[in-house]
Amino acid sequence: MSRHYTRVCNFYYGSKSQKLVKSKKSLPLSNNNQISFDKVEIITRSSTKKISIKQINNLPKLLKKKIILDLKKVTSKKKNFANFNFKKLPNIMGILNLTPDSFSDGGKFNLKNKGIIHAKQMFKSGANIIDVGGESTRPGSKTIKKKTEWNRINKSLRLLNKKIPISLDTRKSEIMEKGIKLGIKIVNDISGLSFDSRTILVLKKSKIPFIIQHSKGEPKNMQNNPRYKNELLDIYDFFEKKIKFLRSKGINHNKIIIDPGIGFGKNLKHNMNLMRNISIFHSLGFPILVGNSRKRFIKNLSGKNDTKYRIGGSVASSLYLMMQGVQILRIHDVNELLQGVKVFKELIKN
């Protein structure tokens, strides 16, 4: 029997969503009446079929049961953690790269107190949390030593943790442990918790919230002709298996965020398909984070290769993702993005 996947779609936002939910014409995402949907796409590896939520009762018994279970995960309330408010869309994770070689801002904030100043500005502009990283994981980058990574971020973490909620962007368990002792709110591991075998033990012991990102290969080779049978469903299966594995290791809390990893072992086609169909991941039952800011797909689509000036593409893709119910956006240009969100929300009021 074919495996079926549930992608909720045809979203409504704001007052229109509230009216439709009240009249039972749409279902709320994460128990939030501000965003809802009235259609479901049933996907297998050989077919797709879109139906209205009213047609679910007409499905064969076993399929109907599967879709209803998925919708329960989609509509269930998400408890807030790590300074995220899942009743509000979108939450913003501001990016602070304290590296000399990150893809768009390497060397910009790693000297003197520039990083601290920038973090405070992003938080003041409306970021919920600041993601601090000391190792570049851009395509082609190489792994650096733990000591080097810690030396890059140590001072900033100590100063910022007292004033601003901090996410720690690292693949290394020893760096995680040090950051947790300083009071970070969440761990962001781009390797999907697979780079360092001790990571699971650290997460289990600390019970800290964490982000699981999908990445195919390592940064040094991930863009060398990445291939999938079906990127959307392969990555969905990856998350499902990873969550099952974590449960088997005794990590039972739900303070987990999933990130499909735009640009990490994906070409333009993969990235576009993931973003267009991002709402499939809601049926896993966890908040979704997307790092679309200044990514290469913007250059591929626009034909311009200046990583510092991809704000237009970042804002456009962020608004699309927000309208698919993505709860968290990882962003460089926080003030500009939130300006766009405020204007957009006002325009779609009715």
Considering 152, 171, 185, 330, which one is annotated as catalytic? 330
Same domain (yes/no): 342, 240 = yes
pLDDT at 222: 72
pLDDT at 1: 60
Same domain (yes/no): 199, 304 = yes
CB half-sphere exposure, 181, CA atoms < 13 A = 7
295 is catalytic: yes
Same domain (yes/no): 49, 162 = no
pLDDT at 102: 43
181 is catalytic: no
Do 232 and 280 meet the contact criterion of CB atoms below 8 Å apart?
A: yes
Do 254 and 212 meet the contact criterion of CB atoms below 8 Å apart?
A: no
Domain membership flag for residue 254: yes
**Residues in the chain with pLDDT < 70?**
1, 101-112, 140, 307, 350
Q: By three-state DSSP, how is residue 313 classified?
A: helix
pLDDT at 307: 67
Q: Which of 44, 57, 65 is nearest to 2 (CA)?
A: 44
Domain membership flag for residue 271: yes
The total number of structural domains that make up the chain: 2
CA dihedral over 168, 101, 239, 314, signed as positive or negative: positive
Domain membership flag for residue 280: yes
Report cis status (omega within 30 of 0) of the bond before 90. yes
**Segments forming the whole domain that contains residue 178:** 91-347
Same domain (yes/no): 169, 301 = yes
pLDDT at 143: 82
Domain boundary at 43, 75, 107, which? 75
Q: pTM of the prediction?
A: 0.94
Distance from the Cα of residue 212 to its chain's centroid: 9
Q: Cβ-count burial of 281 within 10 angstroms (0-12 exposed, 13-18 middle, 19+ buried)?
A: buried
Domain membership flag for residue 313: yes
Beta bridge partners of 94: 130, 331
Considering 266, 295, 296, 310, which one is annotated as catalytic? 295
